[in-house]
């Protein structure tokens, strides 16, 4: 029996303030306990089905008899059909669970600048996966792989295998590396030395030493990326990437796209805003908010991480054989932060600092499966061995592709916003974050300040609308420090047709990790069922 979702009549958690969130969450947890694991969804709103792009059928409320709603992107892009061919022999065809897929690759050529189509082009790498049960003519489901930098070709089989079997049986799974990343004319501009400096940043950028270090890093990033990319650097942003997504739609020869956008989901959200009439279905899993200030993002990240830290500590002390961090894991971690605040220790790839410890918490706490190795690695650091924690952090940030993934993060983050940390008053910027989250707040400001020396972008993102788009599902996890819940709630309020689904969890990325969320998303993608507003899923 599939699990549905408990519904809060009249609204979603977090509509007022953090205390309201906590009150509602506790209440829902109590109810969920009383009814064991069962939960119900209120009456759904089921939009009409429409034919989209030849034989494809998927949920939409847009009638072909009505004028297509237009956004800032206009009626849509045009591109030549994709010429699918064999992927390189090294491309995985079999997922970690043993499922085998037919994998194909193609190249999509798009303008470097859409307003100036004759001034250069960019090659974008596209991959698709079909399972044995995928029928001929199955419509595409475009899956964005998270923060820019993941390589679609290398992970397409694993991406498809992670989706429920019913989804694989209905859709051809398609992924594309965003421009400037992966295999799509990548701009790898973060050097190994700069990456080491970022991973070893001071825990508090508000100190003179911390400010000096952050200033040096931001300037080096700006110089290196500018020198590597040249004028093309300013064209690597989510607005152009969303336009590329519509070029992909045209190249796939469909009128509208079904999109599953994950891990930041920025490009998907911008696509819905720019091309509302080209959307069949859209799921935004843990989206970032283009209107959120750096200060607010830092506070939200730090407070969510500190909430997860308490959960991590409780789980650690409940481990069979005891917690390797002792009876008070939070105190043990705090002691590590103080111990390495002024001097680091050799971790092999870089010098482990107090900031490195905090980075490990922000990156690894959202995944409960990482908690046992994180506890072991932190304990090893306390015993003088920094390598296990360094390996965990490196893996979380991209492993062997760490510098490429950091390059993609920095370029898109900096080119999507005009907001910049004032390096003349870092101490002042740190104060609100320190008040909200004493241990993690200042460091979260440092992470948000990497664009401080970056030039003003050509096309910064602004408030979303998506007027005229079919129903869109937005998913947020209440204690997610990577993409904080406040961002999901804000994006849902900005997009005219969005419905927010809340997961009572701290995990970054809800689908298909939560059975409740998976049930909702599958019904939406397969049957056009839209959940009631205020839908809440238990942990």
Q: Which pLDDT belongs to residue 155?
A: 85
Residue 200 is assigned to a structural domain of this protein = yes
Domain ranges, residue 381:
192-232+319-448
Q: Count CA atoms closer than 13 A to 282's CA, side-chain side.
A: 35
Q: Give Dmax over CA atoms of the chain in angstroms.
A: 69
Residue 391 is assigned to a structural domain of this protein = yes
Q: How many domains does the chain have?
A: 1
Q: 3-state secondary structure string, 131-195? A: CCCCCCCCCEEEEECCCECECHHHHHHHHHHCCCHHHHHHCEEEEECCCCECCECCCCCCCHHHH
Residue 382 is assigned to a structural domain of this protein = yes
Query: Kindly report the CA angle at 55 between 276 and 280, in degrees rounded to 5?
Result: 20
Q: Which pLDDT belongs to residue 89?
A: 82
Residue 519 is assigned to a structural domain of this protein = no
Q: Which pLDDT belongs to residue 164?
A: 92
The structure's pTM equals 0.85
Q: Which pLDDT belongs to residue 66?
A: 67
Q: Please give the distance of CA 279 from its chain centroid, rounded to a whole number.
A: 20
The token pair at 485 is 């819940």
CB 41 within 8 A of CB 532: yes
Residue 516 is assigned to a structural domain of this protein = no
CB 52 within 8 A of CB 277: no
Residue 339 is assigned to a structural domain of this protein = yes
Q: Residue 245 is inside which H or E element, if any?
A: helix 238-251
Residue 187 is assigned to a structural domain of this protein = no
CA 321 to CA 318: how far, in whole Å?
Answer: 9
Per-residue pLDDT in tens (0 to 9) along the chain, 539 residues? 333 443 333 333 334 343 333 333 333 333 333 333 333 333 343 333 332 333 333 444 444 456 889 999 999 999 999 999 999 888 888 887 788 999 999 999 999 999 999 989 999 999 999 999 999 999 999 999 776 667 788 889 989 999 999 999 999 999 999 999 999 999 999 999 999 999 999 999 999 999 999 999 999 999 999 999 999 999 999 999 999 999 999 999 999 999 999 877 999 999 999 999 999 999 999 999 999 999 999 999 999 999 999 999 999 999 999 999 999 999 999 999 999 998 889 888 789 999 999 999 999 999 999 999 999 999 999 999 999 999 999 999 988 889 999 999 999 999 999 999 999 999 999 999 999 999 999 999 999 999 999 999 999 999 999 999 999 999 999 999 989 999 999 999 999 999 999 999 999 889 999 999 999 999 999 999 999 999 999 99
CA-nearest of 74, 166, 179 to 126 is 179
Burial (Cβ within 10 Å: 0-12, 13-18, ≥19) of residue 59: buried
Count CB atoms within 10 A of the CB of residue 85. 9
Residue 383 is assigned to a structural domain of this protein = yes
Name, in order, each residue with C-beta under 8 angstroms of 424's C-beta and a sequence gap of 6 or more. none
Strand 535-537 versus strand 498-503 pairing type: parallel
CB 193 within 8 A of CB 256: no
């Amino acid at each position: 029996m599939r699990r549905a979702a408990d519904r809060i009549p009249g609204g979603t958690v977090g509509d007022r303030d953090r205390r309201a969130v906590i009150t509602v969450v506790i209440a829902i947890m109590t109810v969920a306990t009383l009814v064991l694991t069962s939960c119900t969804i209120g009456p759904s709103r089921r939009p009409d089905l429409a034919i989209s792009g030849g034989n494809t059928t998927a949920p939409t409320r847009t009638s072909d008899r009505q004028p297509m709603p237009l956004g800032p992107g206009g009626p849509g892009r045009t591109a030549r059909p994709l010429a699918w061919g064999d992927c390189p022999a090294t491309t995985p065809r079999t997922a970690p669970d043993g499922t085998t897929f037919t994998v194909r690759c193609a190249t999509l050529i798009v303008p470097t600048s859409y307003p100036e189509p004759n001034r250069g082009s960019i090659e974008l790498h596209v991959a698709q996966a079909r399972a044995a049960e995928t029928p001929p003519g199955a419509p595409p489901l475009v899956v964005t792989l998270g923060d820019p930098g993941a390589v679609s070709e290398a992970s397409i089989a694993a991406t498809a295998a992670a989706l429920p079997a019913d989804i694989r049986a209905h859709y051809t799974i398609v992924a594309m590396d965003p421009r400037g990343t992966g295999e799509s004319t990548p701009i790898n501009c973060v050097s190994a030395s700069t990456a080491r400096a970022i991973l070893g940043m001071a825990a508090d950028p508000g100190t003179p030493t911390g400010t000096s270090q952050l200033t040096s890093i931001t300037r080096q990033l700006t110089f290196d990326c500018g020198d590597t990319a040249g004028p093309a650097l300013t064209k690597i942003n989510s607005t152009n990437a969303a336009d590329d997504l519509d070029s992909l739609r045209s190249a796939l020869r469909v009128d509208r796209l079904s999109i599953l956008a994950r891990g930041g989901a920025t490009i998907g959200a911008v696509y819905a805003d720019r091309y509302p009439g080209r959307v069949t279905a859209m799921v935004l899993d843990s989206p970032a908010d283009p209107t959120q200030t750096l200060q607010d993002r830092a506070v939200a990240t730090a407070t969510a991480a500190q909430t997860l830290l308490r959960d991590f500590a409780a789980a650690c002390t409940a481990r069979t054989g005891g917690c390797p961090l002792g009876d008070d894991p939070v105190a043990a971690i705090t002691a590590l932060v103080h111990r390495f605040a002024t001097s680091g220790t050799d971790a092999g790839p870089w010098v482990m600092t107090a900031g490195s410890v905090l980075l490990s918490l922000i990156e690894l706490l959202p995944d409960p499966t990482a908690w046992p190795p994180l506890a072991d690695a932190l304990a090893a650091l306390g015993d003088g061995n920094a390598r296990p924690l360094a390996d965990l952090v490196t893996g979380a940030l991209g492993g062997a592709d760490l510098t490429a993934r950091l390059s993609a993060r920095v370029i898109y983050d900096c080119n999507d916003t005009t907001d910049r940390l004032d390096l003349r008053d870092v101490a002042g910027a740190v104060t609100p974050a320190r008040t909200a989250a004493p241990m993690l707040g200042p460091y979260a400001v440092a992470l948000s300040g990497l664009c401080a020396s970056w030039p003003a972008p050509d096309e910064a993102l602004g408030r979303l609308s998506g007027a005229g788009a079919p129903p869109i599902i937005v998913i947020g996890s209440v204690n997610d420090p990577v993409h904080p819940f406040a961002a999901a709630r804000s994006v849902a309020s900005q997009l005219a047709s969005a419905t927010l689904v809340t997961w009572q969890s701290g995990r970054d990325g809800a689908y298909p990790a939560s059975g409740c969320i998976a049930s909702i998303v599958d019904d939406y993608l397969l049957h056009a069922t839209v959940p009631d507003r205020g839908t809440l899923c238990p942990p």
